[in-house]
Amino acid sequence: MSRLSLFAPDNFPLIQPGQPLLPAIVDALTQGGQPLADNDILVLAQKIVSKSENRFIDLGDIVATDEARDYAARCLKEPRFIQAVLNESAAVVRCVPNVFIVQHKLGFTLANAGIDQSNIDPSCINEEHRELALLLPQDPDASAAALRRQIRDTLGVNVGVVISDSFGRPWRLGTTGVCIGCAGVEPIRDQRGQKDLYGRTLQVTMPAIGDEMAAAACLLMGEASEGRPIAVLRGLEVIEADLPATALLRAGNEDLFR
C-alpha cells in the first residue's frame, strides 16, 4: 500500500506585515505534534508569504491612468484597483464585465494579477490606510528557496517548499490550488519516452506534480475563513529538483489553447 499523509495546523496565527514565517511555522507544527521531517513538502498559501514580505499596497496611493479607467469601465471594477493590476502585469488577456484576466509579470495568467483584498486586516498597517490590497510575492521561487534554506539551517531537515495560490481555469468552473513558487521539489515530471505497462512508449505524459501538491494541500487549507494557511505532505516519493515553478508555464507561442 502506498501512502501519503497531509496535515495542517488549525488556528495558525495571523501573519503581520514583515513578520518572519519560520517561527510561526515551527511553533504551529510543534504544538500540533508534527515537527517537520526530512522529505516533507511544506505548502504555504501565497497570502501569508506576501504578508510576511510586506507586499501590501494602499489603493489610496494609486492614480489611475486613462488606460486603467478604460479597462475599469469595461470590467466594472475600481479604476485604482485596475491600475494596481496593470502595474503587476505584462499583458491584458481578457476584460469583460466582472472579469479582468492578465498575464502577470511573473508569467502566470490569472484574474486581477493575483491581487487580493480578502483576509486582510484593514487595521494592520495604520489607521489612515484603509484600502489595502496584497500583491503576489516579488519572486515566489526565491521565497520558497529562502524558506527551504532557513529550515535546513535552523532545524537540520531537508524539506521541499511549495507556495500555492488558487487560480480559475478556462473551460472548468471553480479554482484549484496551483504552484506559483517552489524549491527542492519537482514541479513537473517529463515521462515522455518511458514505457507503459505493455511496453508502449508514452507520448505526452508530463504530470504537473507541483500543481497537484498545491491542490492536495488546498483540500485541507480551504480558502475562506479556515485559518489553515500551511499544510505538510508527508510520504511522497520526492525527487529533488532545481526546477522553478515557472517550469509550469507554457510559452506563449506553445500555448495551443489560446
Within 202-221, which residues bind its own copies (CB under 8 A)?
202-209, 211-213, 215-216, 218-220
CB 248 within 8 A of CB 211: yes
Site string for its own copies, 10-39 (x = CB under 8 A): x---x-----------------xxx-----
Backbone φ and ψ of 95, nearest 5° = -140, 100
Burial class (CB in 10 A: 0-12, 13-18, 19+), 13: middle
CB atoms within 10 A of CB 124: 14
Smallest distance from its own copies to CB 153, Å: 25
**Residue ranges in 122-161 that form contacts with its own copies under rule CB under 8 A:** 122
Query: Which of 151/179 has CB closer to its own copies?
Result: 179
Query: Which of 69/189 has CB closer to its own copies?
Result: 189
Smallest distance from its own copies to CB 133, Å: 12
Out of 65, 70, 129, 227, name the contact with its own copies by CB under 8 A.
227
**Residue ranges in 91-120 that form contacts with its own copies under rule CB under 8 A:** 93-94, 96, 99, 101, 108-109, 111, 117-120
Out of 222, 239, 240, 242, name the contact with its own copies by CB under 8 A.
222
14, 167, 173, 214 from 181: Cα distances, Å: 21, 14, 24, 10
Smallest distance from its own copies to CB 69, Å: 21
Out of 8, 48, 134, 161, name the contact with its own copies by CB under 8 A.
8
Out of 121, 142, 154, 239, name the contact with its own copies by CB under 8 A.
121
Q: Which long-range contacts (CB under 8 A, 24 or more apart) does 120-129 make?
A: 120/56, 121/14, 124/16, 124/17, 125/17, 125/56, 125/58, 129/58, 129/60
Smallest distance from its own copies to CB 163, Å: 15
Query: Which of 66/193 has CB closer to its own copies?
Result: 193
Q: In the chain, what is the greatest distance between 2 CA atoms, to the nearest angstrom?
A: 67
Out of 2, 126, 128, 153, name the contact with its own copies by CB under 8 A.
2
Burial class (CB in 10 A: 0-12, 13-18, 19+), 90: middle
User: Which of the stretches 16-24, 55-63, 64-72, 189-197 binds its own copies when contact is defined by CB under 8 A?
Assistant: 189-197
Grid cell digits, residue 202: 508514452
Query: Which of 126/203 has CB closer to its own copies?
Result: 203
Binding status of residue 239 toward its own copies by CB under 8 A: no
Residues present in the chain in total: 258
Number of residues that bind its own copies (CB under 8 A): 81
Whose cell is 519560520? That residue is 22
CB 11 within 8 A of CB 227: yes
